[in-house]
Amino acid sequence: MSKSSIARLLLAIASTTAVVLFVLWDSERTSPGPISSTHAVEKELVAPDGCAACHGERKGDMASACAACHQAIAQEIDSGKGLHGSFGRARAEVCATCHVEHHGDEIPLVGELAFAGAGFPQRESFDHPHVHFELTGKHAALRCVDCHARADEAVLAKGEKRFLGLVQECSSCHEDPHKGRFARGCATCHGQEQPFAAVASFVHGDAFPLVGAHAKPACLDCHPKGSAHEIEALAGHAPPPPARTCVDCHESPHQASFVARVADRAGVVSGQSCALCHDAAHPTFAEGLQSLMMTLPRYALR
């Protein structure tokens, strides 16, 4: 064998040995970087034995490994619902697009970078595109932690949720004064622009418009709890009571015979003839009476 052949053989042996030594050294490495505290508390995920728990036993199996631990997310993807379900399976199953690991706690798994990966440059600008709950009015000014109590916690205990698990019912955050007896949705009366206690969007209707003096009382002044006219009874859970007339709320200064005669002459139901002389635009029954009497048929008072 020539000297050049021997040299090439020795070079090949040395190269092979170097590669084998590098592979052996690399296999002893526990991780390309420290894992986050969230994962580090799970002993089965810690290297060197825990790598496969996240990366899977074979190439391309990482999505299944993530789904095994994060079952709620997997259900969203399978059902096409929720935030992860809205991405589509092909995108949603590439978890590392949003959740970057092996940087310790320098890059939180569910931090600004994760929201940026989902298309939101800032976490606080997240507008819940996956749920039918648009944040407007007072809700738009809330911080994440105001609704999601664990939003800012670095490490969650096993089983705790950061953003999942909430429901959209108003009563999950606000005390329900109707105790579930109101058949209509809260938005029928309460908007998001004003405090929940305010009746922001309810319209009383043409049958009994709240104008003048009638606009001043609070709801409970005319619809006290426990009465036949309480709000809950009028909302569809119970047969509504008969319509009220003026004399149901106001004491009449007139004799019953006079009221009946006026109602008969005017062709209205007794007790509803008060509006012929008195209107709700004035604070009291007496005010405005003189101007209204000018239009009252003269025979009504005979």
Q: What is the mean pLDDT of the chain?
A: 78
Tokens of 189: 């009366």
Is pLDDT at 74 greater than 90 in this prediction?
Answer: yes
Sequence-ordered list of residues with C-beta below 8 angstroms from that of 136, at least 6 positions apart, any chain: 192, 193
107 within some domain: yes
C-beta separation of 275 from 268 below 8 A:
no
Sequence-ordered list of residues with C-beta below 8 angstroms from that of 274, at least 6 positions apart, any chain: 245, 246, 247, 250, 252, 259, 285
Q: Which of 121, 141, 173 is the last residue of a domain?
A: 121
Give tens-digit pLDDT for 91-139.
888 998 899 899 988 889 998 889 988 888 888 878 887 777 777 788 8
Tokens of 33: 């970087």
Q: What percentage of the chain carries pLDDT values higher than 70?
A: 82
Q: Which of 102, 121, 140 is the last residue of a domain?
A: 121
Q: What percentage of the chain carries pLDDT values higher than 90?
A: 8
Ranges 7-21, 125-139, 147-161: which has the least confidence: 7-21
Rounded CA separation 51/31 (Å):
8
Give the structural domain span for 57: 31-121
152 within some domain: no
Can you tell me which residue has the tokens 């909302």? 235
155 within some domain: no
43 within some domain: yes
Q: CA-based Rg of the chain, rounded to a whole angstrom?
A: 37
36 within some domain: yes
54 within some domain: yes
Q: Which of 121, 154, 182 is the last residue of a domain?
A: 121
161 within some domain: no
78 within some domain: yes
Split into its structural domains, the chain has a count of 2
Is pLDDT at 16 greater than 60 in this prediction?
Answer: no
**pLDDT-derived band at 23, boundaries 50, 70, 90:** very low
C-beta separation of 97 from 117 below 8 A:
yes
